[in-house]
């Protein structure tokens, strides 16, 4: 583990691609599972429906509200340990939308429906949260009115459709978001996808090959991983010197189908100790931050195992000494 290296390849708020060298599949898979299931976020957990005359049942509506990614920093909140919702463990929202019935309808044309979106969620701070409300948000985007003050959008994507309301229908809902982990419910998972694959390794087995075969191999690759290096008028080599292009190889084996006996000249394998990770965030946390938190959790788990083994070893030694 002293030779472990992490090489960033692509970094943005919602996507982080990197290579991890010097580990085996068990470590890579543990990191992936922690990203999915153990990095905490905020999500709507308790829903109080005062009025719902839409076509959606209360349970379906509550489930859809829970899946909305919230624009709040989970580090500013504690896990809820009892039934009381307060400023330290919860966020309160209200959703009140009604569609008036038009006085006249022209002919047989029905009035249009109204889309209730995530932007209709209104953040209602507790008394203890009013002075530091803006610090609770993870991203300050698309400011909207919320009570007497202005707050960023409650959802990462304000255009998420919650339901449709026809004229005369109404929603009046009170909601409380809580801190949780993906292993308890998928709505708390911070990632859309967290995947890895072994790094491709493209090599040439022999010093030279027929020029026509080399040209066919180069043209067959959909990602242009191979490049042509002529040696003589009738011979050439195919190489993959660009690490970025090699990383794109999907092992489609088109290069092997390009010419007969191509497998005698080139090889496409995977490095068992190097993994290409792709982490795509839902939006509550930046993709790189999710990765860093997952690494910290993995390190804590490893430390816990070491400590437990040392304690057990000490107790066993004491029991042996007492028996003597």
Is the model's pLDDT at 84 over the cut of 90?
A: no
The DSSP annotation for 32-88 comes to: HHHHHHTS-EEEEEEEEEEEE-SSS-HHHHHHHHHTSPB-B-GGGSPPP-SS---TT
Residue 146 pLDDT grade (very low, low, confident, very high; cuts 50, 70, 90): very low
- Using alpha carbons, select from 63, 40, 53, 57 the residue that is nearest to residue 175: 63
Beta bridge partners of 10: 17
CATH assignment of the domain containing 168: 2.170.120.12
CA distance 245 to 228: 14
Domain check: are 141 and 276 in the same one?
Answer: no
Tell me the pLDDT of the chain averaged across its residues: 87
pLDDT at 107: 54
Domain check: are 239 and 218 in the same one?
Answer: yes
Query: Whole-prediction pTM value?
Result: 0.83
Q: What is the pLDDT of residues 127-141, one digit of tens each?
A: 877 766 777 777 655
Question: Which of 189, 212, 246 is the last residue before a domain boundary?
Answer: 189
Domain for residue 311, yes or no? no
Cβ-Cβ contacts under 8 Å for 19 (sequence gap 6 or more): 5, 6, 7, 9, 199, 247, 274, 275, 276, 277
Domain check: are 94 and 175 in the same one?
Answer: yes
CB 166 within 8 A of CB 115: no
Domain check: are 52 and 156 in the same one?
Answer: yes
Domain check: are 75 and 160 in the same one?
Answer: yes
- Using alpha carbons, select from 45, 292, 285, 60 the residue that is nearest to residue 189: 285
Structure tokens at 181: 């982990």
Q: How many CA atoms lie within 13 A of 252 on its CB side?
A: 14
Q: What is the pLDDT of residues 153-188, one digit of tens each?
A: 888 888 999 999 998 899 999 999 999 999 999 999
Q: What is the pLDDT of residues 245-276, one digit of tens each?
A: 899 898 898 999 988 888 899 999 999 999 99
How many domains is the chain partitioned into structurally?
2
Q: Which domain holds residue 259?
A: 5-37+192-280
Domain check: are 200 and 178 in the same one?
Answer: no
Domain check: are 274 and 176 in the same one?
Answer: no
pLDDT at 136: 78
Domain check: are 173 and 69 in the same one?
Answer: yes
């Amino acid at each position: 583990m002293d030779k472990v290296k992490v090489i960033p390849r692509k970094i943005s708020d919602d996507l982080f691609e990197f290579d991890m060298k010097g580990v085996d599949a068990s470590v890579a898979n543990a990191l992936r599972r922690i990203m999915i299931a153990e990095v905490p976020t905020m999500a709507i957990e308790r829903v109080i429906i005062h009025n719902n005359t839409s076509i959606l049942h209360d349970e379906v509506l509550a489930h859809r509200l829970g899946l909305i990614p919230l624009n709040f920093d989970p580090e500013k909140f504690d896990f809820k340990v009892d039934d009381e919702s307060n400023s330290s463990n919860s966020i309160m929202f209200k959703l009140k939308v009604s569609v008036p019935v038009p006085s006249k309808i022209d002919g047989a044309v029905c009035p249009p429906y109204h889309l209730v979106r995530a932007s209709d969620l209104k953040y209602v701070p507790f008394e203890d949260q009013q002075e530091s409300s803006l610090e609770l948000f993870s991203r300050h985007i698309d400011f909207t009115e919320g009570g007497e003050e202005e707050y960023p959008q409650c959802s990462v994507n304000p255009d998420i459709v919650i339901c449709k309301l026809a004229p005369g229908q109404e929603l009046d809902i009170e909601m409380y978001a809580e801190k949780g982990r993906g292993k308890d419910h998928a709505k708390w998972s911070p990632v859309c996808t967290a995947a890895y694959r072994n790094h491709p390794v493209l090599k040439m087995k022999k010093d030279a090959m027929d020029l026509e075969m080399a040209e066919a191999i180069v043209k067959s690759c959909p990602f242009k991983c191979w490049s042509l290096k002529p040696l003589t008028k009738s011979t050439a080599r195919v190489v993959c010197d660009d690490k970025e292009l090699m990383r794109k190889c999907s092992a489609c084996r088109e290069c092997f189908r390009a010419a007969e006996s191509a497998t005698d000249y080139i090889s496409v394998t995977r490095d068992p100790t190097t993994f290409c990770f792709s982490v795509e965030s839902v939006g509550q946390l930046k993709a790189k931050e999710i990765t860093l938190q997952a690494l910290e959790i993995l390190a804590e788990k490893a430390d816990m195992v070491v400590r437990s083994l040392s304690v057990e070893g000490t107790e066993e030694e004491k029991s042996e000494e007492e028996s003597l």
